[in-house]
């Protein structure tokens, strides 16, 4: 075989939690398929290997965030990044999945050839050399944000600051913040994780936020798990814990959407009791949006609130006017001095690992696509994007996708089909519905070039696990929407209109931000 060309049944992009799970599932359910995992970095783990900032941890329970086929057995269900990475490495080792992973390689472009029913994929090695893979199916598990850098607003005077600026996505190795004054800019999951962690050593930490987020506390370990793990087998205990937290997650989301004022009052009351007068709840912990319009931030064992009560952490809710040589100046006139500034200001999204996708030589334009069941796209053949839940554990939806992909491959094999795509009439007016229900800044910034979703299933993803369990796992594959071995409209649909940008999503977003 030509060393610069090979043929595979499935090509998986990314060796993070999504890609590793897909790899495991294919090995177990499709043992005769030839497949590989392409990973641009030199190690597995994705998010959990990339981020090195203090205190990095899961922001959902590990009973549902872990795989159903590898139970979480520790009493602490809010896990540190190191422990999650160890968990993934245990699965790699125990199942010999490293055999399938190719490190330091990146997919630069992939073209669907209708005449051959194959994706012709260009893979670039770290040294710049390239080779090609003809894959029957392309499965993107590369996450949804850039690894190169996070989002950074254009702060006036940013370069004037004489201290250290440490972005969470590229945390400086061996950064010493002992007895230092630290400003953390942000109020999301990253900020509320970093703040209490560094407060243990820092002289003082100021959390500067433009607007508050919903923050709630839960015990770091579960009493029910401690009891059940002593008397029941591990597998049964895990199933009970998974069901408990699936139910809690879905109930919390439903109540937030159905009775937002009730949930708002519950969170406010918890915050008030946790702070005990150390900060004004109605100034610093009262968001101007409804619960779950953005993701709610979990803090284990009241750690953030405890540090505020101790005096080691203060919260400032105001707009930053500019950076100064010694810190930041707020629009209210307040000057906050710091030795270190941490801009925990969010992520930058990208589509499909920034691969350049095309169909019969015609560039795929993301905002012309419509999402199908939260995993496939209209008129895009033999392609799946593993995208987890945003309102509960990512892995719950990822596992539904793994199962669906294997069922779909089996169905195609049984009937001799070579290609499949969800068909949506190109002449049908496209529903301008955001692909994700959250109104987080990183999503809103990317809306102009993201695929949309419809208003009805299967063209929408409601982010509700118990409904998806039936609608995805137990539904018929031949649903009248999926078209098998029908490539006729693909090339025409993906021809760009005059004036369409042929830039990568990354380039388009950079220009729109500017």
pLDDT bracket for residue 449 (50, 70, 90): confident
Looking at the predicted structure, is the pLDDT value of residue 107 above 90? yes
272 versus 429: the higher-pLDDT residue is 272
Burial of 480 (0-12, 13-18, 19+ CB in 10 A): exposed
Structure tokens at 195: 């703040």
pLDDT of residue 451: 85
pLDDT bracket for residue 473 (50, 70, 90): confident
Those residues with Cβ within 8 angstroms of residue 343's Cβ, 6 or more apart along the chain or in another chain: 152, 153, 155, 165, 167, 168, 185, 186
Q: What angle do CA 189, 195, 196 make, to 5 degrees?
A: 105
Looking at the predicted structure, is the pLDDT value of residue 101 above 90? yes
pLDDT bracket for residue 113 (50, 70, 90): very high
Between β-strands 181-185 and 204-209, what pairing exists: parallel, antiparallel or unpaired?
A: parallel
CATH superfamily of 5-148+350-513: FAD/NAD(P)-binding domain (3.50.50.60)
pLDDT of residue 475: 84
Those residues with Cβ within 8 angstroms of residue 301's Cβ, 6 or more apart along the chain or in another chain: 217, 219, 220
pLDDT of residue 506: 38
Looking at the predicted structure, is the pLDDT value of residue 353 above 90? no
Check if the beta carbon of residue 296 is closer than 8 Å to that of residue 188.
no
pLDDT bracket for residue 445 (50, 70, 90): confident
Return the percentage of the chain with pLDDT > 90, whole number: 72
pLDDT of residue 500: 46
For all residues of the chain together, what is the average pLDDT? 89
Domain positions in the chain? 5-148+350-513, 168-343
What confidence tens digit (pLDDT) does each residue in 190-200 have?
999 999 999 99
Those residues with Cβ within 8 angstroms of residue 251's Cβ, 6 or more apart along the chain or in another chain: none
Length of the chain: 514
What confidence tens digit (pLDDT) does each residue in 233-253 have?
988 999 999 999 999 999 999
pLDDT of residue 436: 63
Angle between helices 260-275 and 303-310 (to 10 degrees): 40
Helices (H), 123-280: 189-199, 223-231, 234-258, 260-275
pLDDT of residue 508: 35
3-state secondary structure of 112: strand
* Same fold across 5-148+350-513 and 168-343: yes
pLDDT bracket for residue 1 (50, 70, 90): very low
Task: Provide mean pLDDT across the span 477-492.
Answer: 77
Check if the beta carbon of residue 15 is closer than 8 Å to that of residue 121.
no
Burial 230-256 (b: 16+ CB within 10 A, else e): eeeeeeebbeebbebbbeebbebbeeb
Looking at the predicted structure, is the pLDDT value of residue 350 above 90? no
Return the percentage of the chain with pLDDT > 70, whole number: 90
3-state secondary structure of 294: coil
Check if the beta carbon of residue 101 is closer than 8 Å to that of residue 94.
no
What confidence tens digit (pLDDT) does each residue in 20-71 have?
999 999 999 999 999 999 999 999 999 999 999 999 999 889 999 999 999 9
499 versus 284: the higher-pLDDT residue is 284
pLDDT bracket for residue 457 (50, 70, 90): confident
Q: What DSSP line would sit under 459-481, residue for residue? A: S-----HHHHHHHTTSS-S--SS
DSSP assigned state of 221 = B
This prediction's pTM: 0.91
Task: Provide mean pLDDT across the span 210-231.
Answer: 93
Return the CATH number of the domain spanning residue range 168-343.
Answer: 3.50.50
How many angstroms separate the CA atoms of 378 and 369, rounded?
6
What confidence tens digit (pLDDT) does each residue in 252-286 have?
999 999 999 999 999 999 999 999 999 999 999 99
């Amino acid at each position: 075989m030509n060393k610069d060309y090979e043929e595979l049944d499935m090509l998986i992009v990314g060796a993070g939690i999504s890609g590793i799970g897909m790899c495991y599932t294919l090995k177990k359910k499709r043992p005769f398929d030839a497949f590989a995992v392409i990973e641009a970095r030199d190690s597995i783990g994705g998010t959990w290997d990339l981020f090195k900032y203090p205190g990095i941890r899961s922001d959902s329970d590990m009973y549902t965030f872990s795989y159903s086929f590898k139970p979480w057995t520790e009493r602490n269900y809010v896990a540190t990044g190191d422990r999650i990475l160890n968990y993934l490495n245990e699965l790699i080792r125990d199942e010999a999945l490293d055999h399938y992973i190719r490190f330091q390689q990146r997919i630069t472009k992939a073209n669907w050839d209708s005449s051959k029913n194959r994706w012709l994929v260009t893979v670039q090695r770290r040294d710049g050399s390239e080779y090609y893979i003809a894959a029957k199916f392309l499965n993107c598990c590369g996450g949804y944000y850039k690894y190169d850098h996070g989002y950074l607003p254009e702060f006036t005077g940013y370069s004037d600051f004489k201290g250290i600026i440490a972005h969470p996505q590229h945390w400086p190795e061996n950064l010493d913040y002992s007895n230092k004054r630290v400003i953390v800019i942000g109020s999301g999951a990253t900020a509320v994780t970093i703040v209490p962690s560094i407060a243990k050593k820092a002289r003082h930490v100021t959390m500067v936020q433009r607007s508050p987020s919903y923050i709630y506390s839960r015990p770091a370990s579960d009493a029910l798990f401690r009891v059940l793990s002593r008397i029941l087998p591990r597998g049964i205990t895990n199933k009970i814990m998974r069901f408990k937290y699936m139910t809690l997650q879905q109930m919390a989301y439903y109540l937030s959407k159905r009775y937002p004022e009730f949930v708002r009052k519950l969170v406010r009351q918890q915050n008030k009791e946790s702070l005990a007068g150390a900060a004004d709840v109605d100034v610093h912990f009262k968001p101007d949006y409804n619960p779950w319009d953005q993701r709610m931030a979990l803090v284990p064992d009241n750690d953030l609130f405890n540090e505020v009560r101790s005096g080691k952490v203060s919260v400032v809710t105001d707009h930053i006017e500019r950076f100064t040589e010694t810190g930041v100046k707020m629009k209210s006139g307040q000057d906050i001095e710091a030795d270190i500034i941490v801009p925990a200001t969010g992520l930058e999204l990208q589509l499909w690992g920034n691969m350049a996708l095309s169909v019969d030589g015609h560039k795929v334009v993301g905002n012309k696509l419509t999402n199908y069941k939260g995993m496939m796209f209209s008129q895009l053949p033999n392609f799946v994007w593993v995208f987890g839940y945003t309102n509960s554990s990512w892995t719950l939806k990822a596992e539904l996708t793994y199962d669906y992909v294997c069922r779909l491959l089996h169905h195609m094999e049984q009937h001799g089909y070579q290609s499949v795509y969800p068909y949506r009439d190109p002449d049908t007016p496209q529903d301008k519905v955001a692909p994700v229900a959250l109104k987080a800044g990183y999503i809103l910034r990317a809306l102009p070039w993201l695929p949309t979703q419809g208003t009805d299933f299967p063209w929408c993803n409601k982010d509700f696990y118990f409904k998806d369990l039936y609608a995805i796992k137990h539904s018929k594959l031949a649903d009248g929407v999926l078209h098998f071995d029908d490539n006729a409209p693909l090339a025409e649909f993906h021809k760009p209109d005059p004036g369409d940008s042929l830039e990568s999503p990354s380039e388009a977003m950079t220009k729109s931000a500017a």
